[in-house]
Structure 1
Amino acid sequence: MIGLLFAVLILAPAAFGCGVPAYPPLVSRVVGGENARPYSWPWQASLQYYSNGKWSHTCGGTLIATNWVMTAAHCISSSMTYRVLLGKYNLAVEEKGAVAIYPQKLIVNKNWNSQNVANGYDIALIKLSQHVTLSDHIQLACLPPAQSILSSNTACYVTGWGRLQTNGPLPDDLQQGLLRVVDYATCSLPTWWGSSVKPSMVCAGGDGITSSCSGDSGGPLNCQGADGRWEVHGIVSFGSAISCNQYHKPSVFTRVSAYISWIEQVMASN
């Protein structure tokens, strides 16, 4: 019996480790966004705000601990009332196993300046008012090793409920889009993003077809590691003001690996 108990203790964490969905995403090579497989990005959160008697989706987020969600600093306003939805696929319907949790604390990186998005530091952590129970529909994302840099052309997936195209409709179903990483040397060229992009950011896309868009902000850039687990390497930060999928203006993400020590410090002290 002791042996059996020991085996259970060893196995239990693996059942809900990080980055391994119960329903693996269908990672096709479709150009342009597509409906995700339901619940295949189980760390995806919808950050919603309350206005005029109803809740509305404003940003994405990533569940990184049972009571912590990572999002973009520019998604957070001290004047708004928020809730976090987890375990969601279709935002328009009630779904079994989905939960809505209110934030206990909203912690924006102290170096963030809303007047200067290109300065970086576009990261915030939301401490939830209660721990969420992990399930097939709600799981934790893996974070990348500190300071790790994705190689150029790595295939990653941006996920979210953002607009389907510039000024287009907001989808009910979670979307995913294949984006290939553009290295900093290329992305910082004058004909690309120039000095607007910093080494603490990740660029992905820029093919003029697929990109993040309004409403995807704060959500994850999911990249599969060599061990098969998905790691969230980016937080949707900004894109072209002209159109979501402008050629040579890839989606720009906060590079999560640049903030691992900040994330650990905030979670430990709050």
Structure 2
Amino acid sequence: MSGVLGTYSEHDAEEAMRLVGYGLRPRLRPHRDADYASLVRRYDEEPAFEELVRKSAAGLGLRVIGITQRAGAVFGALPGSVFETKLDLYARQARQAHQREAERVLHGIAHLAIAACCFPRPEDLADDGYVGQAMVPTVDNLVRHLCQELSERVAGSEENSDPMANAPELERAWRVYLRRPEAGSTSDGRVAPPSTEAIVGKALRYLVDQGMLTETEDDERPVKVYRTTGRYQLQVRELAAVEVYDELLRLGAPAGHAAGDVVRVSDSGTLY
């Protein structure tokens, strides 16, 4: 690579695109692949190569969120990118229903609550070695607690017909969430899709598929435990800048409600 930033060889371009390609394999980590680890080191040590990787990613409609040995290459979709996942599409895939706007709200709030459960304190999010965890009942209970908190706020302000000025998105969401049952069952004993626990479970499994969480069994209870990866931590650091996520923490999402404890949801309804 030339010493002048922006001048690259064909070999440099190939390596940059290879690193982007590794980032599109969400479950692969640098410690499992020597070539991947070598490219991450080059990205970290060579500013010109870092610039090339960023430009290569942008050409594909991706932005670099972070590239580290622990998390690997983590990208987010630029607006209009083929990699962009809209919340309404995600919700329709999770549950084919006529109440599409309601489904969109429910799935969005589930993802926000998972992030708040896994990283309940700013210092947890800042600590590169921290591993958070969440379970379906924990996340569902957290959201119901917050919904009740919002309900009481609205009742106390005597402005039931208008969203609260400081949290309009959440005020709309709690009404939808509380109308859903926590869990239901089908004829074969599975959790019914309309239940809030089913929605939370879908969100957690989606994050596992995206390499954001790992899934294990709880030794003491018949419940699955989902633990965070470095990839998810980088994503949630960006999510922390979203106003509605900050409001979740102010309402009571800290450690007291996280049992041992994307995706980014943007204002435009995009799930990153």
Which structure is larger by alpha-carbon Rg, 1 or 2? 2
- For the criterion TM > 0.5, the same-fold answer is no
Q: Which has the higher strand share?
A: 1
Please state which band the TM-score falls in when normalised by the shorter chain.
Answer: under 0.3
Q: Which has the higher helix share?
A: 2
Q: TM-score, normalised by structure 1?
A: 0.28
Q: TM-score, normalised by structure 2?
A: 0.28
